Amino acid sequence: MKIAKYWKAVVAAVVAGAGSLSTALADDTISAAEGWLTLAAVLAALGFTWAVPNRDKGES
């Protein structure tokens, strides 16, 4: 198992979560809806990015 092939999904999830949290923290509080939205953004980024296969090094 190579960990390198999972990094794109991890990075996408972190970026989606951070973007959603930074928007939620604009008013210095996080409501339950904002928390659920952040979780949904992280899971969606993980799922969609994980589903797209990496390109082989031989392909252009």
Q: What is the pLDDT of residues 7-34, one digit of tens each?
A: 888 999 999 999 999 999 999 999 999 9
Residue type, 28: D
Q: Who wins on pLDDT, 21 or 2?
A: 21
The pTM (predicted TM-score) of the whole model is 0.79
Domain ranges in the chain are: 3-51
Separation of alpha carbons 42 and 49, rounded Å: 11
- When pLDDT is cut at 50, 70 and 90, the band that residue 49 belongs to is confident
Per-residue tokens: 8: 């794109």
One-character DSSP codes across the chain: --GGGGHHHHHHHHHHHHHHHHHHGGGT---HHHHHHHHHHHHHHHHHHHHSPPPPTT--
pLDDT of residue 37: 95
Joined together, the tokens standing for residue 25 give 């923290």
